[in-house]
Amino acid sequence: MIKAKVYITLKKGVLDPQGKTIKQALEHLEYKGIEDIRLGKYIEITLNGKSKSEAEREIKDMCEKLLANTVIEDYRFEIEG
């Protein structure tokens, strides 16, 4: 059983309305010193019957094809187990 953790974030320079709103909400709740907040997706994928390198190749392919919109998003992932 292999577990992949995929992190998808907006590219630098792309406005993040959700991050901005969360920052305002937190400041409204008296939190100080917040420089910036970026909201992204965290996807946990469990695979079986794969070697680590096979999993690596497949997860990268999944990200390129579906999980990330490479026009506005970056992705990175870690493979465990």
Partner 1 sequence: MFGIVIFPGSNCDHDCYHVLRQVFNQNVQFIWHKEERIDKKFRVIILPGGFSYGDYLRTGAIARFSPVMKAVERFAKNGGLVLGICNGFQILLEAGLLPGAMMRNKDLKFICKNVYVKVEKTDIPYTKACKKSQVLKIPIAHAEGNYYADPEILKSLEENRQIVFRYSTRNGEITEESNPNGAVNNIAGICNKEGNILGMMPHPERCSERVIGNEDGRLIFESLIEVIGSNLSP
Partner 2 sequence: MKDIQITKELIEAHGLTEEEYERIIKILGREPSYTELGIFTVMWSEHCSYKSSKVHLRRFPTDAPWVIQGPGENAGVIDIGDGLAAVFKMESHNHPSFIEPYQGAATGVGGILRDIFTMGARPIASLNSLRFGLLDKPKHKYLFSGVVSGIAGYGNCIGVPTVGGEIYFNDTYNGNILVNVFNLGIAKKDKIFKGKAAGIDNPVIYVGSKTGRDGIHGASLLASHEFDEKSEEMRPTVQVGDPFTEKLLLEACLELMDKDLIVGIQDMGAAGLTSSSSEMASRGGTGIEIELSLIPTREEGMTPYELMLSESQERMLIVAKKGKEKGVEEIFKKWDLEAVVIGRVRDDGILRVKDKGIVVAEIPAKALAEESPVYNRTIKRPDSQNELQSLELSKLQLPKNYNDVLLKLLGSPNIASKEWVFEQYDHMVRTNTAVLPGSDAAVIRVKGTDKALAIKVDCNSRYCYLDPFLGGALAVAESARNIVCSGGRPLAITDCLNFGNPEKPEVMWQFSEAVDGISEACMRLKIPVVSGNVSFYNETKDQRIYPTPVIGMVGIIDNIEQAMTQWFKRKGDIIVLIGDNGDDLGGSEYLYIFHELERGMPPSLDLNKEINIQRLCLQAIKEGIIISSHDCSEGGLAVALAECCISGSEPIGAEIEL
Chain-centroid distance of CA 49 in Å reads: 25
d(CA 11, CA 18): 14
Q: Kindly tell me which of 24 and 46 has the beta carbon lying closer to partner 2.
A: 24
79 binds a second copy (CB under 8 A): no
24 binds partner 2 (CB under 8 A): yes
Q: CB neighbours of 39 closer than 8 A, spacing ≥ 6?
A: 16, 18, 19, 22
Range in contact with partner 2 (rule: CB under 8 A) among 1-9, 39-47, 56-64, 68-76: 68-76
User: Which of 45, 56, 74, 79 lies at the binding interface for a second copy (CB under 8 A)?
Assistant: 45
